[in-house]
Structure 1
């Protein structure tokens, strides 16, 4: 561009309408710098506020992570647990838990005073510390009742809210408490089959959110029979003034546990006393010297060894002295006894002679073969490990022959006796199992001839021996009593017994084992006995009489009197 003077104009200048020169470079420069400063200021403020927002989000999430469990874990579902007939033993129900956000609490004292009107047992000091902690999330009370939730909601306390959770409900209550088990406040299995489910990977599925709409778990338990067992042992414990009682019903052909209970017990819906020292599943987690029920194994061992037959006679004319101890018979016959007579008269001397015939190594091997001295392999977590002498001497073998000197669980004793009735050891299960599936895991432990002989002496003992009080007309019951003196302060007590009775039925082809126990029972009435026949035997009778039909066993009265004449060969 050329000005009036004919000289070129500098960049940044313009010519006015009258021809004068106007310089605008300074104006444009100052305007550009102003806009840049505004943009920079906005950017700085944006960065500051973004940083503040980011930190707020971080601390908010951090409070949730540190102070409260993730929602998915709190509300994790568990599968229903059913009995073999589809009856519900355990299921999830919806409940609400009370939480607080301390940072939003205006007046902690007022909030607690209001909550105390609905929750009078609230711990004031603990609640106060939580509400003044400044945390983002704290639990105040888990698993409220619907009424409590409604009343607290109506109080309108700022900073207090509710979280939906799952709670386990057990319709059968204490009836199947030890078998089904228990969950903790976070719905995690801590005992029984509930814990078994978690140990099988349920917890892992819950942690990744896959434990939804899971199929129900069906147990081998028959709730009808379970009720009978629980009812009879509860009544028996009271009737015989015992400190505890228990029973198990076992399917001989499949190893399925149809019912198992122990008292004292607990209600899993309100397990306030679950940790009391007398709350123990005595059938699988209790270790006892099983007394004369062990003579079942001693007699079977002697016969299976081939060193004796049913006609063999052993010397029971006088007490047996060994290693400074004297072995007596409770009701001695003071003569030579046949193998069946040793069994039905429950001769300690005769049983000791049987063990002596087999020998120490053979005796120990036989009990391990039947699983009596091994830790039982089953789903229930509460299983005790049997005890035995580190080194077996002759005196050990002699006393173990009649049930003293080793400790095992009542359930294992029942499983071992079931093996004598079938010839096969089948580990017990609390899940459903077919006979075909059972035979895939079964192990032959005694000969068929031994099985026939043991069926014979079981029935003979019920008809002519100590098992008569367990007889149930029509159901061909056989069995063996066991009265063991308990060890107190390292010595056998003469006034404290652990009594047991093992029954099998129907004896022509045994399908079920029923084993009952009574811990430190007393005579029901003056003049009555305190041995196993008078208490554990009667409990077994009642269980069989009430449950046999439920188990599908049809009564047969055609050969009640001829049962003892059936050949065992």
Structure 2
């Protein structure tokens, strides 16, 4: 409308100018040139003022009414799983806008809109409809039913624009991996944000993010396994009355994450509660004391440095007294224990004795070497930094040896666990496809293959004879280590509040996959039953492996001996 008005003014002005010039030329001759120039200057000055005013009004409309009507939400590439299943895609949706200058009766318009959109802010919407703005948004991303109902109201000055909206076919199934976008289709969490940070945001800003030119982003995740993991977490939370649960399935040879879930989660299609504290991604964005799962790392350190071997013996006869602290075993044997016995009986005393075969600084350096003390490197933006004492004194070294005093992310624990079992190579986890050759190019050899071989033996032995027995899945040669840690609340350990974990690998004689499951504050399934990791998280891992192994391409082996085999300690 503004453009047509300006063209009419220009046409009228040009006609007037031609008449004036011709009249002056006929009556005054050469003397008219000066007047012509002056007249043209006046016209140009007038046009300049008009143009400036129009520009000013345009900016005012943007400030008062929000985005200009020509603005279009940018396209995003589809996100798919490793098999091409769609995890996130764009769909077209209608958004409602108003042109207040064309609104005949703001009261009537608002009254009609409230019949379809009863949650509109009445005072705010009325003031905006009464304003002089040229364009305002009223509601983004309507449902088709809402759009049809508003169209039937026939309100002058009300219209619709087609915009892009992100749709997640799986709902909450992979919410913490895929992430979500804001109302303008910009990634704000998970792999959606990662995609933006890799250049999509720049393409969108330049207007080059055209849907047909955007290749799908393929993740390492397997949606089938992801569904199994989340389903088992829901069952475990209900069965063990826990406040939260999490699990990850990691390829031990490539670092690819096949599945990862944390409950409670959220639905990215309706993320009204996504920012609530209890819905954070506990697997990568939460740090916890991982309890006795750390005993495996301490044993690996002693074996790696040669201060112990599988035949070594450590005195666990009586508790260790340090100042006001007493270190006891949960189910103490009250005798000298071999290294395998320290592991399968989960002896705090035996593990502490083993830790003290090296200095505190050597202990700290080893844990840093296997990736437990530094922030993990991966594509997911939500990754927490581990916490540790600023100085490791003797008391710190002893408690950290069995998983108290250092807090790290469960995903980081799974990464370090993979290095213990895969031949000793630390591979940073990835949510994108990666083959073995690519993984090996960046892998760090953190323990010797012989040490890894001994750790595989110990992990298997613990499922056969120790606290991991409930994780056994016939034919899949499972090995693992439990962890039951008292939680720290307001700086103090609270009896009865536990964070349980089970770190497993399968088939542990030649590990392909690592599975780590955690439960936050689990309770006894029934009165009189225990609530340790050996009772609950082992069962979670059992169910995940039993349901997903075939999908992961791992064939059961019933034809060979599956007992833990002693390895050479020389």
TM-score normalized by structure 2? 0.91
Return the alpha-carbon distance in structure 2 between the equivalents of residues 390 and 30 of structure 1: 93
Return the alpha-carbon distance in structure 2 between the equivalents of residues 432 and 568 of structure 1: 36
Q: Does 1:223 align with 2:223?
A: yes
Match of 1:200 in 2: 198
Task: Name which of 174, 177, 189 aligns with 2:175.
Answer: 177
Tell me whether 40-49 or 459-468 shows the greater mean CA deviation: 40-49
Q: Is the 8 A contact 2:77 2:89 kept in 1?
A: yes
Alignment of 1:175-324 (within 5 A): 175-212=173-210, 213-324=213-324
Return the alpha-carbon distance in structure 1 between the equivalents of residues 460 and 323 of structure 2: 35
User: CA offsets per residue over residues 184-238 of structure 1, 9 Å max, x none?
Assistant: 1111111100111111121111000111221110001000000000000011011
Return the alpha-carbon distance in structure 2 between the equivalents of residues 434 and 155 of structure 1: 58
Return the alpha-carbon distance in structure 2 between the equivalents of residues 361 and 565 of structure 1: 33
Return the alpha-carbon distance in structure 1 between the equivalents of residues 448 and 58 of structure 2: 68
Q: Does 1:58 align with 2:55?
A: yes
Tell me whether 44-53 or 546-555 shows the greater mean CA deviation: 44-53
Q: Does 1:32 align with 2:27?
A: yes
Return the alpha-carbon distance in structure 1 between the equivalents of residues 244 and 180 of structure 2: 21
Return the alpha-carbon distance in structure 2 between the equivalents of residues 457 and 43 of structure 1: 96
**Residues 1:108 and 1:44: Cα distance change in structure 2 (over 3 Å):** farther
Return the alpha-carbon distance in structure 1 between the equivalents of residues 83 and 566 of structure 2: 36
User: CA offsets per residue over residues 4-24 of structure 1, 9 Å max, x none?
Assistant: xxxxxxxxxxxxxxxxxxxxx
Return the alpha-carbon distance in structure 2 between the equivalents of residues 48 and 425 of structure 1: 73
**Residues 1:559 and 1:71: Cα distance change in structure 2 (over 3 Å):** farther
Match of 1:326 in 2: 326
Match of 1:7 in 2: none
Using the TM superposition, give the Cα deviation of residue 463 of structure 1 relative to its aligned residue in structure 2, in angstroms: 0.6
Match of 2:507 in 1: 506
Q: Does 1:547 align with 2:545?
A: no
Return the alpha-carbon distance in structure 1 between the equivalents of residues 225 and 190 of structure 2: 19
Q: Does 1:516 align with 2:511?
A: no
Alignment of 1:296-375 (within 5 A): 296-375=296-375
Using the TM superposition, give the Cα deviation of residue 317 of structure 1 relative to its aligned residue in structure 2, in angstroms: 0.8
Alignment of 1:382-401 (within 5 A): 382-401=382-401
Using the TM superposition, give the Cα deviation of residue 53 of structure 1 relative to its aligned residue in structure 2, in angstroms: 5.0
Q: Is the 8 A contact 2:283 2:410 kept in 1?
A: yes
Q: Is the 8 A contact 1:386 1:406 kept in 2?
A: yes
Tell me whether 170-179 or 207-216 shows the greater mean CA deviation: 207-216
Match of 1:13 in 2: none
Q: Is the 8 A contact 2:247 2:515 kept in 1?
A: yes
Return the alpha-carbon distance in structure 2 between the equivalents of residues 371 and 361 of structure 1: 16
Match of 1:447 in 2: 448
**Residues 1:30 and 1:90: Cα distance change in structure 2 (over 3 Å):** closer
Q: Does 1:149 align with 2:153?
A: no
TM-score normalized by structure 1? 0.91
Using the TM superposition, give the Cα deviation of residue 45 of structure 1 relative to its aligned residue in structure 2, in angstroms: 8.6
Tell me whether 176-185 or 269-278 shows the greater mean CA deviation: 269-278
Return the alpha-carbon distance in structure 1 between the equivalents of residues 138 and 394 of structure 2: 63
Counterpart secondary structure, 1:164: strand
Tell me whether 106-115 or 251-260 shows the greater mean CA deviation: 106-115
Return the alpha-carbon distance in structure 2 between the equivalents of residues 568 and 511 of structure 1: 23
Structure 1: where are the runs of 5+ without partners? 1-27
Counterpart secondary structure, 1:564: coil
User: CA offsets per residue over residues 15-74 of structure 1, 9 Å max, x none?
Assistant: xxxxxxxxxxxxx99951499699799858955774565246424532454343356763
User: CA offsets per residue over residues 404-427 of structure 1, 9 Å max, x none?
Assistant: 011000000000000001210000
**Residues 1:44 and 1:374: Cα distance change in structure 2 (over 3 Å):** closer
User: CA offsets per residue over residues 272-325 of structure 1, 9 Å max, x none?
Assistant: 111212111000011100000001101101100111111000111111111321
**Residues 1:134 and 1:454: Cα distance change in structure 2 (over 3 Å):** same
- Count, aligned residues: 541
Using the TM superposition, give the Cα deviation of residue 143 of structure 1 relative to its aligned residue in structure 2, in angstroms: 0.6
Counterpart secondary structure, 1:142: strand
Return the alpha-carbon distance in structure 2 between the equivalents of residues 541 and 416 of structure 1: 21
Match of 1:402 in 2: 402
Return the alpha-carbon distance in structure 1 between the equivalents of residues 24 and 183 of structure 2: 72
**Residues 1:107 and 1:335: Cα distance change in structure 2 (over 3 Å):** same
Using the TM superposition, give the Cα deviation of residue 559 of structure 1 relative to its aligned residue in structure 2, in angstroms: 3.0
Return the alpha-carbon distance in structure 2 between the equivalents of residues 52 and 475 of structure 1: 82
Match of 1:421 in 2: 421
Match of 1:18 in 2: none
Return the alpha-carbon distance in structure 2 between the equivalents of residues 372 and 45 of structure 1: 76
Match of 2:81 in 1: 83
Task: Name which of 52, 66, 69 aligns with 2:67.
Answer: 69
Return the alpha-carbon distance in structure 1 between the equivalents of residues 471 and 108 of structure 2: 66
Q: Is the 8 A contact 1:506 1:512 kept in 2?
A: yes
**Residues 1:215 and 1:242: Cα distance change in structure 2 (over 3 Å):** same
- Which structure is larger by alpha-carbon Rg, 1 or 2? 1
Q: Is the 8 A contact 2:68 2:135 kept in 1?
A: no
User: CA offsets per residue over residues 120-164 of structure 1, 9 Å max, x none?
Assistant: 111101101211232222111111111111221222212221122
Return the alpha-carbon distance in structure 2 between the equivalents of residues 449 and 107 of structure 1: 83
Counterpart secondary structure, 1:281: coil
Return the alpha-carbon distance in structure 2 between the equivalents of residues 70 and 40 of structure 1: 39
Return the alpha-carbon distance in structure 2 between the equivalents of residues 188 and 368 of structure 1: 36
**Residues 1:257 and 1:70: Cα distance change in structure 2 (over 3 Å):** farther
Using the TM superposition, give the Cα deviation of residue 566 of structure 1 relative to its aligned residue in structure 2, in angstroms: 4.6
Task: Name which of 158, 161, 168 aligns with 2:159.
Answer: 161
Q: Is the 8 A contact 1:499 1:517 kept in 2?
A: yes
Return the alpha-carbon distance in structure 1 between the equivalents of residues 332 and 70 of structure 2: 68
